[in-house]
């Protein structure tokens, strides 16, 4: 007699090892941004006139939240959000523990070199 597929599927899902130092559900960009934005009285996932979504819109800033290794994408998005809302551009850079590079340094170097009007906020994951 063949075991039902659901039982096999369940066994496959639960057969992996779990170490006590692993985080079962790592903090997502969305959850980190939502908490950060709420603490500043901002609006998470604000829809722009262009149909794009700003991670956090405050009275002053249009903020793009991004993990540190994706800082390059954050530059363009933050500038776009600032233009479409008439707010100041900002990036919430989420610094991952496992990062080996100085992504914040790279980001600041580009912002300074090209005099980009972007404010940087940082938070540890």
Query: Residue 102 in 3-state DSSP?
Result: coil
User: Using DSSP, how many helices (H) and how many strands (E) does the chain show?
Assistant: 4, 5
Q: How many domains does the chain have?
A: 1
Q: Give residue-wise pLDDT tens across range 63-77.
A: 999 999 999 999 999
Residue 79, domain member (yes or no): yes
Alpha helices in 49-116 (DSSP H): 71-85, 103-113
User: How does the average pLDDT of the chain come out, rounded?
Assistant: 84
Domain extent for 114: 27-124
Q: Which residues pair with 88 in a beta bridge?
A: 61
Q: Give residue-wise pLDDT tens across range 59-115.
A: 999 999 999 999 999 999 999 999 999 999 999 999 998 999 999 999 999 999 999
For residue 70 the two structure tokens come to 């994706």
Residue 120, domain member (yes or no): yes
Query: Residue 122 in 3-state DSSP?
Result: strand
Res. 27 pLDDT band, cuts 50 70 90: confident
Residue 13, domain member (yes or no): no
Residue 36, domain member (yes or no): yes
CA distances from 14 to 7, 8, 18, 74 (A): 11, 10, 10, 37
b/e burial code for range 104-122 (CB count within 10 A of at least 16 → b): eeebeeebeeeeeebebee
pLDDT at 9 over 60: no
Res. 30 pLDDT band, cuts 50 70 90: confident
Element (H, E) at 47: strand 43-47
Res. 29 pLDDT band, cuts 50 70 90: confident
The DSSP symbol for 25 reads S
Residue 6, domain member (yes or no): no
Residue 31, domain member (yes or no): yes
What's the whole-model pTM score?
0.77
Residue 108, domain member (yes or no): yes
pLDDT at 116 over 50: yes
């Amino acid at each position: 007699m063949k075991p039902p597929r659901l039982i096999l599927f369940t066994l496959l899902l639960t057969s992996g090892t779990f170490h006590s130092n692993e985080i079962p559900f790592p903090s997502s960009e969305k959850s980190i941004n939502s908490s950060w934005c709420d603490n500043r009285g901002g609006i998470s996932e604000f829809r722009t006139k262009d149909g794009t979504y700003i991670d956090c819109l405050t009275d002053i800033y249009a903020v793009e939240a991004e993990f540190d290794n994706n800082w390059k994408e954050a530059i363009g998005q933050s500038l776009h959000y600032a233009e479409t809302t008439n707010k100041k551009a900002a990036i919430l850079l989420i610094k991952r523990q496992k990062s080996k590079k100085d992504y914040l340094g790279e980001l600041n170097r580009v912002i300074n070199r090209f005099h980009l009007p972007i404010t940087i906020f940082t938070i540890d994951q």
